Amino acid sequence: MSDSVLDLTCELIRCRSVTPVDDGCQDLLRARLTALRFAITRLDKQDVTNFYATVGSGSPLFVFAGHTDVVPPGDLADWASPPFEPTLRDGYLFGRGAADMKSSLAAMIVATENFIAKHPQPRGTLAFLITSDEEGAAEYGTRYVVEHLTEIGCIPDLCIVGEPTSSTRLGDTLRNGRRGSLNGTLTIHGVQGHVAYPDLADNPIHRAAPFLAHLTRIEWDTGNDHYPPTSLQISNIAAGTGASNVIPGRLIVDCNFRYSTEQSAAKLQQAIAELLDEHALDATVHWQLAGEPFLTRPGTLTDTVQRAVRQLLATECALSTAGGTSDGRFIAPMGCELVEIGPVNATIHKVDECVSVADLQPLAQIYERVLEELLA
Ligand SMILES: [Zn+2]
């Protein structure tokens, strides 16, 4: 395999694919898959670039899923080397997307090339589901492709998402589920007035203070065998008119729940409504559900990935449902077994994002071993 994973990762990093722009990443991937006789369906929608590609037929239908988009680099002056110029330094490859998740995409392609070279007729179907909108709104990315696949009755049995799940060394952690994510914007209404005449106003900051204190003390649940406890974080509070002599008319609070299967979005929304009532607050609440929690119970796919990691790297791969949301939230509800496994995530979304060069070929070997076990 020489340096093929490194080479392709570098090519992908050179594409300035800041979400939802693809900037040629998917051309590179499609060219490699076309050479392997994959049938490719482009599923672009608005400014999002997507494709679904398959080789073989029948079941099991195994899908490699991933995204070509990256988060913005931020201030370029903060980077030791330019974010879209792949740079090797001290055994690491630096560049935006090096870990999240251009190296995984390259590893999936190389694993597939090696696997197809040995097994030109795989058992079942091997597919790629690739989007350029995972880091952004995610409206017309994987969600849209999944709608299309559901319409044509194409339901995956097994799926690996290449998100960077490893914490300190390659393969130490896989995700077999994700917590739910629910965003809330609470507008607490008062009456604007002069600070010198508080009896003629109604200060929403003062009214909200005990409610917010109460909110942050609540233990929502204690988690369960597969999930850590549900947590609520307030991410922003805004009030004030900009003048120091004005009581503002409203206070806006943004918050986010990361929740276990002990909860549902409906239950959490109800709990907030009751708490607002208890504190006699006049409030308007707007909810946006990013995704309900999903879980793949330990079984064929988790066992296969864990065995591959143990055999290739002598590392025990722990199951985890921690971390942020991923596109697994759209694919898992189709009813397939889904795990996420990829490189070390210590630098993702940061300045000087990087991946260990020594991890690149082993990541491809893990993916290839899984294909060998499931589709050979
Ligand atoms: Zn990612």
Domain positions in the chain are 4-178+293-375, 180-291
Burial call 206-245: b when 16+ CB within 10 Å, e when fewer: ebbeebbeebeeeebbebeebbbebebeeeeeebeeeeee
Query: How much of the chain is helix, strand and coil, in % rounded to 5?
Result: 35, 25, 40
Question: Which pLDDT score, from 0 to 100, does residue 322 have?
Answer: 86
Q: Is 3.20.20.80 the CATH number for 4-178+293-375?
A: no
Q: Which residues are found with C-beta within 5 Å of the ion, ligand 1?
A: 100-101, 163
Per DSSP, what are the bridge partners of residue 339?
Answer: 160
Query: What number does CATH give the domain 180-291?
Result: 3.30.70.360
Please give the distance, rounded to the nearest whole angstrom, from the Cα atom of residue 229 to the centre of ligand 1: 23
Q: How far is the CA of 36 from the centre of ligand 1 (A)?
A: 26
Instruction: Tell me, in angstroms, the distance from the centre of ligand 1 to residue 242's CA.
Output: 38
Q: How high is the pLDDT of residue 323?
A: 83
pLDDT of residue 269: 98
| Residues noted as catalytic | 69, 134
Closest among 40, 23, 290 to 132, alpha carbons compared:
23
Quick one: pLDDT at residue 1?
41
Query: How far apart are the CA of 150 and the centre of ligand 1, in A?
Result: 23
The owner of tokens 């066992």 is 303
Three-class secondary structure of residue 314 per DSSP = coil
Give me ligand 1 centre to Cα 71, in Å: 9
Same fold, 4-178+293-375 and 180-291: no
pLDDT along the chain (376 residues), means of 10: 84 98 98 98 98 97 98 96 98 98 98 97 97 94 97 96 97 95 97 97 98 97 92 96 97 96 95 98 96 91 98 96 89 95 97 98 98 97
Supply the pTM of this predicted model.
0.88
123: tokens are 């058992």
Instruction: Compute the distance from residue 140 Cα to the ligand 1 centre, in Å.
Output: 16
Q: Among positive and negative, which fits the CA dihedral 50, 55, 59, 64? A: negative
d(CA 326, CA 162): 10
Q: Compute the chain's Rg from CA coordinates.
A: 23
Fill in the DSSP letter of residue 80.
S
Span from the CA of 67 to the centroid of ligand 1 (angstroms): 7
Burial 177-202 (b: 16+ CB within 10 A, else e): bbbbbbebebebebeebeeeeeeebb
